Structure 1
């Protein structure tokens, strides 16, 4: 199970009360200010693996192919094909070399047709990124 911070919830810690009066359906609270700080949308890329009980805070972008370790608390953007873990999450290493990552991002295999993926299955289930790239280039020539 994955818990992702829902919405943009950052309470004002310098106000007298942290209670969300503005959510009350009562005209007595009609002058209440919205106390939540907006952080933006959380964006999860393609082919991302998120470990059990990982928490991804609002406003964070997780790049394509990234791996989020179990119980990691992600407070900053995660680069494509990066492995992160800990609290707060830290970059551990990249899954592949810089040139291999560039090839994977160029191919965008997650947008391929089912037939293209089926034809590349032996390469998809391997570490042969160069072979997959060659397959993709040949498919584009057809």
Structure 2
């Protein structure tokens, strides 16, 4: 167990051997100030070229006035180049033209014929790993423990503890048997205090369900 785990409000949690903080890795919660983005503790993102505005880089079409939200759980891992294409990027395509006339004359009030209705929130569970360059489509619902392959284009509802990849992304396989997934969902280790999580690091990262059960029973 490390001598000191960084607090969830630390901007740059990775310390290099020379003692400096790695600028390309951030805990997202303290660096995003956006009224439509919610991020859980210890979720981090990495970038080869760190942006000035992490929120705008990750979700470029999510505006402060957007009706939808982007919600990301705790302990998620977001690689370089990931983008969330939220519902405000949508166009109408049920008529003869998808052209958004309303955005060019400054009158984008609800009800304009060329604007789509409000879309669904984009939801990411806890302990989700999103590989480099993946794109998450509007209204996606990604379950806890999901692993998303690099370059994947993900939409719809992704079951907890599955591995997905491709364009469009498909479930390649479940990570664990259904009964194990059910138990992990009940244990919710991501809601434990960080010191308790670190004490159970071997069980969590090594897949020792019996040890995890015992750790849960001690508290």
Count residues with an aligned counterpart.
138
Whether the aligned pair in 1 keeps the contact of 2:99 and 2:114 (CA below 8 Å) is no
Higher RCO, 1 vs 2 (CA within 8 Å, ≥6 residues apart):
1
Give the stretch that moved more between structures: 9-18 or 118-127.
9-18
Mapping 1:59-138, distance limit 5 Å: 59-138=139-218
Q: Which residue, out of 57, 75, 80, partners 2:137?
A: 57
Distance 1:116 1:78 in 2: 29
| CA RMSD after TM alignment | 2.2
TM-score (norm 2): 0.57
Runs of 4+ with >6 A deviation: none
Give the stretch that moved more between structures: 57-66 or 68-77.
68-77
Structure with the higher fraction of residues in helix conformation? 1
Q: Which residue, out of 76, 89, 99, partners 1:9?
A: 89
Whether the aligned pair in 1 keeps the contact of 2:98 and 2:114 (CA below 8 Å) is no
Whether the aligned pair in 1 keeps the contact of 2:87 and 2:139 (CA below 8 Å) is no
Unaligned ranges ≥5, structure 1: none
Larger Rg computed on CA atoms: 1
TM-score (norm 1): 0.84
